Structure 1
């Protein structure tokens, strides 16, 4: 994987904004790249572009090898047929096999070394669940597709903040019940490795959040900090990770505090995602750590309420494409001449 290879961009839920984001991203990136090949239904993309009045010529290609050459003039698409017509804002479980097939094909291309990485458009997990989808979300599905020995880790990154939650797509009650020192250590190690390999940070500084208000106030507001979090920090430091905390969650995301670390290790989903989406909803990127391939995605959802209107902001998808290309180069730099 290197910068000469295109990226694979998945369909996402076709009733959401993924299609128009794909079209808008091509229009924005066609001149300077990074090049990508969409794994989608070319008929629906062409119809969507025509309906929006956008000049985005679509070209069916047999493989990603053709994509880089034609990218400046046409949007390359590897065909994934949709079994039923799409109505914007109205997800149809009948199209779930195509949605999942797009992801599976993109991962296969990355594992074969034919694309530099995978960028995923937003899916509707609720729609997929109705068809028997057995995974909490994209992250876990990608782990299964790539056969990772340990669950992958979700990192949200923007120029303003990087965050990783230890527990992800589970209820808050379950997150609190299942949080362990071992999981904090595992996630912290994956974060440290991901910052070094994917972001080129030689000595990452990792701030660890407390679980309770005021990080427990020395046990007055809960014992999870001394019982679970502090032992994890000590174990991480013993393994060479520059981790510190636990920090009070209500103050660790201020502008001044953010200058003291490269990433925040948070303990549950919303503790991580609320600050980054508040600070930089348009520029945030979802990165999956712990996979044998590069994978990024925008940090927002399907936005069914505005689908098909051409008003969705492509900034997060464009940021995801650019970051995926940068990470692919860092993972597999060109050999010296």
Structure 2
């Protein structure tokens, strides 16, 4: 591993959600707090609210705060409230953490959940963390990786309609396989074993249930194999997750959002981490939402936040090592 401890920024997410609670509870774990130089990006007002709900004291955790000053002073946070100012604050936290990564002030960022509707109340078009961070980084073609303890999944498409997701493109599939292969190396897999899902039932059954699998997916797999990537496909989506969860593969390439999300959340919801790929920075995230219904009640589990921090630390350590060896 690298010779220094990584520096990690953690965004607070929507102040009305569970982000502050799960962050404080995760950072109260000595193992997590000692794993990196951690900087929480947010407003002290939101941290104060999380302290009251959890009983944890931020100033005792040995963690720094980057105060953003978005929330109005003197106004208490209202948990579970859908408000434009909360959406504006959450986006600002993501923006500032991204800039910290791009400026090399930190080695990676971890994001708590925000509420897309609260963000759009500000008149901003917003489809998700991954797309917004990619825009800030000045890149197109970002991808979402769901990384778990048993298995990981990368998606060719995510936050688009199913109709649009079915318009496959071989070059995009090739890029997705390559991004997934590199990400798995950052997670410690020297030679990742990759399975590429078909789009149609039974991967098209040799054209009986659609031609997209043979027309777009198989050429992408063949291209990647010629480049030295250990991958196979198109494989039947209804069986590959079962096999891979038992150890046949390290990574599955899913063609669209739900093809990858549903089985991963069934396999291990709490340990599955959202990772953004195709951007020049390391970003991981919890794989759950703001949970407005339980926010402020100290009921939210911090397990997924811990997993997201651990993964950011692991990826940052491997990247630092790669840089040192270059």
TM-score normalised over the length of structure 2: 0.91
Q: Secondary structure of 1:253's partner?
A: helix
Change (3 A) 1:31 1:154: closer
2:168 aligns with 179
Q: Secondary structure of 1:105's partner?
A: helix
Mapped pair 1:202 → 2:190: yes
1:66 aligns with none
How far, CA to CA, are the matches of 2:223 and 2:96 in structure 1? 39
1:189 aligns with 178
How far, CA to CA, are the matches of 1:152 and 1:2 in structure 2? 30
The answer to whether the 8 A contact 1:162-1:264 is kept is yes
How far, CA to CA, are the matches of 1:2 and 1:21 in structure 2? 29
The answer to whether the 8 A contact 1:266-1:272 is kept is yes
The answer to whether the 8 A contact 2:107-2:316 is kept is yes
How far, CA to CA, are the matches of 2:171 and 2:82 in structure 1? 39
2:229 aligns with 241
Mapped pair 1:269 → 2:260: no
2:147 aligns with 157
Change (3 A) 1:318 1:2: farther
1:44 aligns with 46
Change (3 A) 1:90 1:108: same
Q: CA deviation at 1:96?
A: 2.6
* Two-structure CA RMSD over aligned residues (Å): 2.0
How far, CA to CA, are the matches of 2:40 and 2:281 in structure 1? 17
Mapped pair 1:259 → 2:247: yes
2:107 aligns with 116
Unaligned runs of 5+ in 2: none
1:9-88 alignment to 2 at 5 Å?
9-29=10-30, 32-52=34-54, 54-58=55-59, 73-81=61-69, 82-83=71-72, 85-88=76-79
Aligned length in residues: 319
How far, CA to CA, are the matches of 2:36 and 2:245 in structure 1? 33
Q: Secondary structure of 1:202's partner?
A: coil
Q: Which moved more, 1:90-99 or 1:208-217?
A: 90-99
1:65 aligns with none
Q: CA deviation at 1:210?
A: 1.0
